[in-house]
Protein backbone atom coordinates (compact mmCIF):
# COMPACT_ATOMS: atom_id res chain seq x y z
CA UNK A 1 0.00 0.00 0.00
CA UNK A 2 1.40 3.36 -0.98
CA UNK A 3 1.88 6.02 1.63
CA UNK A 4 -1.12 8.26 1.93
CA UNK A 5 -3.50 5.47 0.89
CA UNK A 6 -5.09 4.24 4.04
CA UNK A 7 -7.43 1.31 4.05
CA UNK A 8 -11.01 2.23 4.79
CA UNK A 9 -12.45 0.27 7.72
CA UNK A 10 -16.19 -0.35 7.86
CA UNK A 11 -17.52 0.44 11.33
CA UNK A 12 -21.11 0.36 12.58
CA UNK A 13 -22.67 2.54 15.24
CA UNK A 14 -25.96 2.45 17.09
CA UNK A 15 -28.18 5.42 17.77
CA UNK A 16 -30.00 3.75 20.65
CA UNK A 17 -33.20 5.67 21.34
CA UNK A 18 -35.32 5.16 24.46
CA UNK A 19 -39.04 5.73 25.03
CA UNK A 20 -38.38 9.35 26.05
CA UNK A 21 -36.68 9.94 22.66
CA UNK A 22 -33.31 10.28 24.33
CA UNK A 23 -30.16 9.09 22.57
CA UNK A 24 -27.55 6.88 24.24
CA UNK A 25 -23.90 8.03 24.27
CA UNK A 26 -20.80 6.33 25.69
CA UNK A 27 -17.49 7.84 26.77
CA UNK A 28 -14.23 6.25 25.62
CA UNK A 29 -11.70 5.34 28.31
CA UNK A 30 -8.37 7.15 28.63
CA UNK A 31 -6.60 4.01 27.28
CA UNK A 32 -8.57 3.93 23.99
CA UNK A 33 -7.76 5.94 20.88
CA UNK A 34 -9.65 9.26 21.02
CA UNK A 35 -9.42 9.17 24.83
CA UNK A 36 -12.42 10.44 26.79
CA UNK A 37 -14.34 11.45 23.65
CA UNK A 38 -18.02 10.56 23.48
CA UNK A 39 -19.28 8.26 20.77
CA UNK A 40 -22.14 6.16 19.52
CA UNK A 41 -21.44 2.53 20.48
CA UNK A 42 -20.55 0.00 17.79
CA UNK A 43 -17.50 -1.47 16.13
CA UNK A 44 -15.65 -2.95 13.19
CA UNK A 45 -17.39 -5.31 10.81
CA UNK A 46 -15.72 -8.74 10.81
CA UNK A 47 -15.25 -10.91 7.73
CA UNK A 48 -18.48 -12.65 6.62
CA UNK A 49 -20.63 -10.37 8.76
CA UNK A 50 -23.32 -7.91 7.66
CA UNK A 51 -23.39 -4.42 9.15
CA UNK A 52 -26.54 -5.36 11.05
CA UNK A 53 -25.01 -8.57 12.47
CA UNK A 54 -21.91 -6.63 13.47
CA UNK A 55 -23.89 -4.00 15.32
CA UNK A 56 -25.99 -6.50 17.26
CA UNK A 57 -22.81 -8.42 18.24
CA UNK A 58 -20.82 -5.31 19.19
CA UNK A 59 -23.62 -3.86 21.33
CA UNK A 60 -23.97 -7.20 23.13
CA UNK A 61 -20.17 -7.28 23.73
CA UNK A 62 -19.78 -3.63 24.72
CA UNK A 63 -23.01 -2.99 26.64
CA UNK A 64 -24.50 -6.40 27.48
CA UNK A 65 -27.86 -5.51 25.89
CA UNK A 66 -29.93 -6.71 22.95
CA UNK A 67 -31.05 -4.18 20.37
CA UNK A 68 -33.51 -4.11 17.52
CA UNK A 69 -32.48 -2.23 14.38
CA UNK A 70 -35.16 0.19 13.21
CA UNK A 71 -33.55 2.14 10.37
CA UNK A 72 -30.23 2.66 8.61
CA UNK A 73 -28.95 6.21 8.13
CA UNK A 74 -26.42 7.47 5.57
CA UNK A 75 -22.86 6.44 6.32
CA UNK A 76 -20.06 8.91 6.94
CA UNK A 77 -16.49 8.44 5.71
CA UNK A 78 -14.06 10.14 8.07
CA UNK A 79 -10.28 10.27 7.92
CA UNK A 80 -8.48 10.18 11.25
CA UNK A 81 -4.67 10.56 11.28
CA UNK A 82 -4.03 6.80 11.31
CA UNK A 83 -7.18 5.32 9.85
CA UNK A 84 -10.13 6.16 7.64
CA UNK A 85 -13.48 4.75 8.68
CA UNK A 86 -16.77 4.31 6.89
CA UNK A 87 -19.19 4.79 9.78
CA UNK A 88 -22.52 3.04 9.17
CA UNK A 89 -25.23 4.24 11.57
CA UNK A 90 -28.47 2.55 12.55
CA UNK A 91 -31.31 3.88 14.68
CA UNK A 92 -32.02 1.14 17.23
CA UNK A 93 -34.02 0.36 20.33
CA UNK A 94 -32.94 -1.64 23.37
CA UNK A 95 -35.13 -4.73 23.67
CA UNK A 96 -33.56 -6.53 26.63
CA UNK A 97 -30.71 -6.63 29.12
CA UNK A 98 -29.22 -4.22 31.62
CA UNK A 99 -26.56 -1.79 30.41
CA UNK A 100 -23.13 -2.87 31.59
CA UNK A 101 -20.10 -0.96 30.26
CA UNK A 102 -17.41 -3.45 29.23
CA UNK A 103 -15.14 -1.00 27.35
CA UNK A 104 -16.32 2.53 28.08
CA UNK A 105 -16.08 4.55 31.30
CA UNK A 106 -19.41 6.38 31.26
CA UNK A 107 -22.73 6.68 29.48
CA UNK A 108 -25.55 9.21 29.22
CA UNK A 109 -29.06 9.39 27.83
CA UNK A 110 -29.32 12.75 26.08
CA UNK A 111 -32.21 14.84 24.88
CA UNK A 112 -31.83 16.23 21.37
CA UNK A 113 -31.05 19.67 22.83
CA UNK A 114 -28.09 18.25 24.79
CA UNK A 115 -26.57 16.14 22.02
CA UNK A 116 -24.07 18.62 20.68
CA UNK A 117 -22.86 19.70 24.13
CA UNK A 118 -20.44 16.78 24.47
CA UNK A 119 -17.00 16.39 22.95
CA UNK A 120 -17.77 13.72 20.33
CA UNK A 121 -15.47 11.55 18.22
CA UNK A 122 -15.28 13.53 14.97
CA UNK A 123 -16.75 10.79 12.75
CA UNK A 124 -19.93 10.74 14.85
CA UNK A 125 -20.73 14.45 14.48
CA UNK A 126 -22.24 14.35 10.94
CA UNK A 127 -24.30 11.32 12.04
CA UNK A 128 -25.69 13.32 14.97
CA UNK A 129 -26.64 16.20 12.66
CA UNK A 130 -28.33 13.73 10.32
CA UNK A 131 -30.25 12.26 13.25
CA UNK A 132 -31.30 15.72 14.50
CA UNK A 133 -32.47 16.66 11.00
CA UNK A 134 -34.58 13.49 10.88
CA UNK A 135 -36.25 14.45 14.17
CA UNK A 136 -37.40 17.72 12.60
CA UNK A 137 -39.12 15.95 9.68
pLDDT in tens, 7-20: 899 999 999 999 99
CB 69 within 8 A of CB 89: no
Dihedral pair phi/psi, residue 115, rounded to 5° = -55, -45
pLDDT in tens, 82-108: 899 999 999 999 999 999 999 999 999
Chain mean pLDDT for the chain: 94
Cα distances (Å, whole numbers) of residue 110 to 17, 22, 72, 126, 128: 9, 5, 20, 17, 12
Query: Is 124 part of a structural domain of the chain?
Result: yes
Residue 1 has pLDDT above 50, yes or no: no
Q: What is the pLDDT of residue 70?
A: 97
The CATH number linked to 74 is 3.90.79.10
Task: Give percent of the chain with pLDDT exceeding 70.
Answer: 96
Q: What is the mean pLDDT of residues 63-71?
A: 98
Residue 2 has pLDDT above 60, yes or no: no
Query: Is 37 part of a structural domain of the chain?
Result: yes
Coil, strand or helix: which one is 1?
coil
* Number of domains the chain contains: 1
**Residue 33 per-residue DSSP state:** S
Query: Is 120 part of a structural domain of the chain?
Result: yes
Q: What range defines the domain where residue 124 resides? A: 8-136
Amino acid sequence: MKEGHKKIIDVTCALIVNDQNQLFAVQRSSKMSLPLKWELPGGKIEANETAEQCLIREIKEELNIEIKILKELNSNIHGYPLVTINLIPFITKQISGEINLNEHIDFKWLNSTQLLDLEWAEADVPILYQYLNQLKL
